[in-house]
Amino acid sequence: MLTFFNQFPQRVSDVTTELTTQGVPLTAPAAPAPPLDPDDPWASSRPAPPVNRTTLAWCTAAQMLSAHHRTPLSTQALSADALIRELGVRGLAQLHTDLHDGAPIDYRFTRCPYCSGCGEEPLLPDCADVGCPPQYEFIDHDHICPVCRGENFQPEWFGEERITQLDHLVDAPAPGRTARLSRLRKKILRLTRR
């Protein structure tokens, strides 16, 4: 039986199956340490850690890049490695924005690529995994999605709510604009009657 939370292991399974059929290893090798720069004493001299390509975040990044560029997953493996290595899960929000030409994304109207719009962390971690304070241990609280920050994807409800807000703005005009608004309303009424 396919439930909402079963789709996340299925996503990982689909991506790892495709990677293994194309001969791509499921663990990216650690990047070599950068050479020491005497002019920059604060530069890191540690090698970048290896990337696990079987995590949900990596699989989501690879699918997003592959779908956007219309290329196979194997060609996007290094890009997904770099994204997860540098920014982690929160980098998916930046990637989503970048793929939309830098436009801000309202997750109430656009489905989150990581949690698919539920607003919760799709891996369903417990409080010990996330590191919640001890007082939250016995309270049933949600762990919000790190990408959409818990925005609830409900375009039908939020769309009606936004129209209601705009109607209130039109009904309550600013001082000095009443004559112009009444002419605008007359034009709108004439156009809607046709």
Position 162 scores a pLDDT of 77
Q: Residue 66 and residue 110: Cα distance in Å, rounded?
A: 19
**pLDDT confidence tier of residue 177, bands split at 50, 70 and 90:** low
Position 71 scores a pLDDT of 93
- Mean pLDDT of the 139-146 span: 82
Position 50 scores a pLDDT of 84
Residue 2, pLDDT above cutoff 60: no
Q: What is the pLDDT of residues 90-109, one digit of tens each?
A: 999 999 999 999 888 989 88
Residue 67, pLDDT above cutoff 90: yes
Number of Cβ atoms within 10 Å of the Cβ of 56: 19
Report which of residues 177 and 55 the model is more confident about: 55
Residue extents of the structural domains in the chain: 4-29+47-154
Q: What is the pLDDT of residues 72-91, one digit of tens each?
A: 988 999 999 999 988 999 99
Position 92 scores a pLDDT of 95
- Mean pLDDT of the 166-192 span: 68
Q: What percent of the chain has pLDDT over 70?
A: 86
Write down the pTM of the prediction.
0.72
| DSSP-assigned states of every residue in the chain | ---GGGHHHHHHHHHHHHHHHTT--SEEPPBPPPPP-TT-TTS--SPBPPEETTSHHHHHHHHHHHHHHT--GGGGHHHHHHHHHHHGGGHHHHHHHHHTTT----TTTS--TTTTTS-B-TT---HHHHT--GGGTTS----B-TTTTT----HHHHHHHHHHHHHHHHHSPPTT-HHHHHHHHHHHHHHHH-
Handedness of CA 1, 59, 91, 125 (dihedral sign): positive
